[in-house]
Amino acid sequence: MEQRKFGDTDISCSALGFGTWEMGTTQYGEIDTAEAIKAVQRAIEYGITLFDTAECYGPYTSEELLAQGLGNRRGDVVVVTKVGFRYHEGLRGNDAFAGRDASAEYITDRTEGCLARLDTDYIDLLLIHWPDHATPHEETIGALEGLKVAGKIRHYGV
């Protein structure tokens, strides 16, 4: 698998990435979690080192399954995840979405949740999934910079 530099970062990863949205939704049928975990492992065997997920995929399911699939290979791959949605707790799928939130407190809290679900100390690239126009950009960027300084994320974007 061809490896490439990731934008203007110090990260190198596979030219093809593995998206995990389907691992977190039942829109196309029930999820076979064992097969989803095997798919992640098989992708690594074939040289895929870029994995894209988001806490809203499920919500939470794809991050949890990705962590299980990566196991002790976390340091060998690049993980991208996304935050910025509020949820109605206890609901799944599209019914769970309660709106956008990129406030500093929410982004920081949600990132901690992503780290726990992904079973990792850092996220290579954290994205704000969809812009939150009600929160000043400076507030969001301040939170992201704080997470970067703390070593919890390596890079961020929208």
Give the integer Cα–Cα distance in Å for 106 and 92. 20
Told to judge if 57 belongs to the known catalytic residues of this protein, a careful annotator would answer yes
Residue 147 DSSP SS3: helix
- Which residue bears the tokens 């979690």? 33
Asked if 36 contacts 65 with a C-beta cutoff of 8 angstroms, the reply is yes
Q: Which residues pair with 80 in a beta bridge?
A: 52, 125
Strands 85-87 and 97-100: antiparallel
- Which residue bears the tokens 């990731």? 6
Helix, strand counts (H, E) of the chain: 4, 9
Q: Which phi and psi angles does 6 have, rounded to 5°? A: -90, 100
Other Cβ atoms closer than 10 A to 157:
11
Give the active site residue among 57, 60, 87, 156: 57
Residues annotated catalytic, as ranges: 57
